[in-house]
């Protein structure tokens, strides 16, 4: 796992396919608006059935996670001043949590499949996005 930080701010977390380990791992700190948990268990492991209670939370920004199901994608990370801080490539099995950063993507292989997960609800582009 790699953390990208700038000026004391967590911009992104990169979790490579090779970072998986047995058990439960949470690469995200508890204070992020989005949480990522990684499970690796043997056959027969049971997890207790549950539902999440209604609980009001103050969410100040959208944070997203991208998981590479197949293919390759370059991720560009920008700081709070919209300056490019870092670029990296995600490949099959990798994911990135984009915490407090601007970001852009370039698909590098045909038929790349990406799963994007973010907190919602999404209002509209004008309300939710500042273009860089």
Mean pLDDT per segment of 10 residues, for the chain of length 132 residues? Answer: 95 96 94 92 96 90 94 97 97 96 97 94 86 94
Count of residues for the chain?
132
Domain containing residue 26: CATH number: 2.60.120
Q: Is 48 a domain residue?
A: no
pTM over 0.85: yes
Element holding 128 (H helix, E strand): helix 125-128
Beta bridge partners of 73: 90, 107
Q: Is 118 a domain residue?
A: yes
Q: What is the pLDDT of residue 49?
A: 96
Q: Which domain holds residue 88?
A: 2-39+60-128
DSSP letter at 66 equals: E
Domain count, the chain: 1
């Amino acid at each position: 796992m790699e953390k990208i930080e700038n000026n004391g701010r967590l911009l992104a977390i990169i979790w490579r396919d090779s970072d998986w380990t047995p058990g439960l791992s949470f690469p995200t700190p508890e204070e992020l608006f989005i949480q990522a948990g990684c499970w690796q268990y043997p056959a027969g492991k049971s997890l207790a059935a549950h539902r999440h209670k209604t609980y009001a939370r103050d969410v100040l920004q959208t944070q997203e996670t991208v998981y590479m199901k197949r293919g390759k994608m370059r991720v560009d990370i920008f700081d709070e001043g919209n300056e490019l801080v870092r670029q990296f490539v995600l490949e099959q099995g990798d994911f990135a949590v984009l915490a407090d950063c601007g970001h852009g993507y370039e698909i590098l292989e045909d038929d790349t499949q990406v799963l994007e997960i973010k907190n919602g609800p999404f209002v509209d582009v004008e309300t939710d996005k500042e273009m860089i």
